[in-house]
Amino acid sequence: MATSMLVQGVLLIFVWILAPGLLGVAFVGAIIFSTFTMGQRVLNEAAYIRIDHKANDLYLAGPMSPEAYFLGMSTGILVVYLAPVVALGALAAAVVHFTLAQGLLLIALASVVWVFSASVGYVFSTFFRDNRAIWAYSSLFFNVFGVLPPVFYPFGLFPTPLHPVALLMPPSGAAAIAQMSLGITHLTSGELALAVGGLVVETVFVFLFAIYWARRTVRAD
C-alpha cells in the first residue's frame, strides 16, 4: 500500500518545500493520480498471475466469466489501495476545505479515472510475456500520462497549444474539471465540454473494449 503513494508523496514533498501555495492543487491531483495508478496495479497483478502463477488459465477454465475476472480483480485492487487514497482525501480536505458538491465531484472524477485506468491496465497486461518487462513499461506509461500533464499543477501552467491534448487525457481532464470547480483554473465552455466529453467517451470506449478483449483473449488461449 505504501508504494502506491510513492510518486504522489514525492511530488507533494516537492510542492510543500518549493511552492507551498500550490499544495491544494497538488493534493487534488494526487487523489486523481492515485486512482489512475490503480490501473498500473491491475496491469502488474493480471500479468503476474498469468505469467508467473499460470493461475489465469485456472480461473478462466472455471465458471467465472472473463469480464467477471477483469472486474473482480480491478475491484479487489481498488479495495486494497483505497485506504491510502481516503487518507490522502482527508489531508486534501484539511488543506483545500471542499464543499460537499466539490467533494462529491472529486470522488466522481476519481472513480471515472479508475474505470479508465483499470481497463487500460487489464488490456495492456495481456501483451506481456516476461515478468521483468512489466515494471519498466507500466511505470513509463502511468508516470508519463499522470505526471507530465497538469494533474499536480494548475492547468494554466501547461503550454497553451497543448491544452486540448491535456483535456483529452483522462487524468489531466479530470484534474482540470476539479481545479475549475475549486476556482483554481478557468475553462471556457468549449474546453469544459472537451474535458467532460473526452473523459466519458474514452472511459466508456476503453471499458467496453476491455470486456471485449477479456473475452477475446480467452478464446485465443
Q: Which residues bind other proteins (CB under 8 A)?
A: 2-3, 6, 9-11, 13-15, 17-19, 22, 44, 48, 52, 131-133, 135-137, 139-140, 143-144, 147-148, 152-153, 157
Least distance from C-beta 148 to other proteins, angstroms? 6
Query: Which of 167, 73, 86 has the alpha carbon at shortest distance from 121?
Result: 73
The C-alpha angle 211, 140, 134, rounded to 5 degrees, equals 60
- Rounded Cα–Cα distance for residues 179 and 29 (Å): 9
Least distance from C-beta 150 to other proteins, angstroms? 9
Least distance from C-beta 40 to other proteins, angstroms? 11
Name the CA dihedral angle for 47, 72, 119, 190, rounded to a multiple of 10 degrees: -150
Amino acid at 218: V
Between 3 and 99, whose beta carbon lies closer to other proteins? 3
Least distance from C-beta 84 to other proteins, angstroms? 13
Between 122 and 152, whose beta carbon lies closer to other proteins? 152
Q: Is 99 left (phi over 0), alpha (psi -120 to 50) or beta?
A: beta
